[in-house]
Structure 1
Amino acid sequence: MAGPLRIAVAQSGIDRDVRANGREIRGLMRRAAAGGARLVQFPEGAASGYCKSEIASWDEVDWPALREELEETAALAGSLGLWVVIGSAHPLTAPHRPHNSLYVIADTGALAGRYDKRRCSHTEITGWFSPGQAPLTFAVDGFTFGCAICIENVFPEVFAEYEALGVDIVLVSSYSRDPIYGVLAKAHAAATCLWIGLAIPAQCSQSLPSSLIGPTGAVLAEGGRNGDSDLVFVTLDRDDPAFAIALEKARPWRRTARLGGIYESRRVEDPRSRDRAGF
């Protein structure tokens, strides 16, 4: 069993200038590494900007500059020995619309994978993005991570799927200021006994700061609410007594219960059971 793992959830400022976004990301990466984190997670659209907010048209995006910034960021990840998960639009071949993605950069500086948002919003799917096709999991120091983006936070099946895949923590990167997203993330964590990282832009933090939620559904740490860039640090520890019931009892039992066999074997044939019209 893996030992504790320290991670950081970024609350980064996002600009329409991809160069400014790159500088912001790398500055927070250095702070995350200095704080002992092995991984840092950034919000949706952190590198490219997000449609309707920083981006009014895909023609506005300087795609070559964005790629240069991502490559420089990946090189820094290798220098720091830091895993980095960054939200960005990912261009496809014309005329196809981009994906809304999370790039997963390993501590070697290599791109370890890319998650493409599968359950896009109505606005995204009709005018902005092409949907993705598959979940993404990756492992860091014995902990398994899954990825989700923004409105996928309203789909319980996304988190149930990751729980079934053996994930320990789901990284949810969003560009939202709706406090209900925090409520939903806490509920998913409590229902699936997963840690959840919720990365939110600095400009949305007054009503919805970045946070790290434990497998009991409790918020373990959250960013400031003053609109400034911030980092949230938490150490994931399976041996923490506060999580013993959630991780050692609730999660394995619920997995068995979802399969239904423990109920099938205990159902009875009884006329009073069949009759549901009387007291």
Structure 2
Amino acid sequence: MTARRNFKRQVRARAARTGESYTAALRHFRPTPSGDIVSESRTPRSVRLAVAQTVVREDPRDVEALRESGRAVRALMREAGARGARIVHFPEGALCFPGKLVMSVDGPHAVGPADWSRCQWPVLRAELAAIAELAGALRLWTVIPSVHRLTEPHRPHNSLYVVSDRGEVVTRYDERLLSRTKVSYLYSPGVSPVTFEVDGVRFGCLLGMEIHYPELFTEYERLDVDCVLLSTSGTPGNITAEAQVQGHAAFNGYWVSISGPAQDGVTAPTGVVAPDGDWIARCPADGSPSVAVVNLDDSSESAASARTHARPWRRESRSGLYAEHQVNDPRSEDRTTGF
């Protein structure tokens, strides 16, 4: 009965919005096997996503630590592939999250400009290459954050690589809204949003503390993404971060996957939030490296509702819809006349 009520509500909403009769509006919808209703103009899409939490290490001078991080990432890639995932999403610092004191020329007790010659770049590149090779072997799209080296004297980007199921880097997102320490001492900021598609599902990318900037999530809504992938090394106030990620998903009507460090897994919101703001997958809250796997199904009730109601209405209401209904009467501007 719930599915039938949802169906009637969606048809009535279209009829009210377009001025069509109920019968005319009905022609634009069809039921899916799950009982949800989708527009005939769009084919439902689905992709199986794995979100990972890994141990984050802070010293890019430590060769064995970099290699251990690479091995851990590849182990979770194999687990994600064995569980049927088409795409796996890793946290900021999955290979290394260079510490500000470790990198500081004034360290180890004071923060200063980063000395990037301390980074074991050949080892980092070798681990990234091994990850890309495994992605191709597993036919698994892999979203892996890392430092992206630029020509001297420019600081590197804090980046998120998107590796296709053919083992090729197809795009890269560079963190734009950096923390004060990052932009002052460590990284060059990025300049643009990045989207990519897997099996017809469109993803957007964010990094670090960008969870705190709602305009970035709204930007991806305008770019018509289905899911935002946010990789973080941990944010201050995990309860606040959890509420924020749920709010971003619900306000914009898309999935949000947030991947963070395993060592923060007891309290940090590592998992996937549905377009209605509910958590639909979480990694174990035991601090261990792990993955959570979930189907992002475009025909699910929360996704279909966001697509047919929330997102279209918000876009329409922001397009100047209200101007024609506003009252052009001087008395309407007088706030002192009481009742």
How big is the shift at 1:59?
3.6
Tell me what 1:30 maps to.
78
Residue 8 of structure 1 is aligned with which of 33, 37, 50? 50
Matches within 5 A, 1:206-245: 206-245=266-305
**Alpha-carbon distance in 1 for matches of 2:294, 2:231:** 16
Structure 2 residue 229 is matched with structure 1 residue 181: no
- Maintained 8 Å contact 1:137/1:144: yes
Q: Which runs of 5+ in 1 are unaligned?
A: none
Tell me what 1:78 maps to.
136
**Alpha-carbon distance in 2 for matches of 1:126, 1:80:** 39
What TM-score comes out, normalization by structure 1 length?
A: 0.95
Change (3 A) 1:25 1:54: farther
Tell me what 1:277 maps to.
336
**Alpha-carbon distance in 1 for matches of 2:227, 2:72:** 25
Structure 2 residue 70 is matched with structure 1 residue 18: no
Task: Give the share of equivalent positions with the same residue, in percent.
Answer: 43
Change (3 A) 1:232 1:52: farther
Tell me what 1:266 maps to.
325
Tell me what 2:196 maps to.
138
**Alpha-carbon distance in 2 for matches of 1:146, 1:54:** 31
Change (3 A) 1:82 1:53: farther
- Larger mean CA deviation between 65-74 and 219-228 belongs to 219-228
Change (3 A) 1:160 1:14: same
How big is the shift at 1:96?
1.2
Greater gyration radius: 2
Tell me what 2:121 maps to.
63
Change (3 A) 1:194 1:38: same
**Alpha-carbon distance in 1 for matches of 2:211, 2:302:** 25
**Alpha-carbon distance in 2 for matches of 1:210, 1:119:** 21
Matches within 5 A, 1:112-151: 112-151=170-209
- Maintained 8 Å contact 2:97/2:233: no
- Maintained 8 Å contact 2:135/2:164: yes
- Aligned-residue RMSD, C-alpha: 1.6
Q: How many residues align?
A: 278
Give the aligned residue type for 2:135.
A
What TM-score comes out, normalization by structure 2 length?
A: 0.79
Tell me what 2:215 maps to.
157
Give the aligned residue type for 1:87.
P
Q: Which runs of 5+ in 2 are unaligned?
A: 1-42, 60-64, 105-113
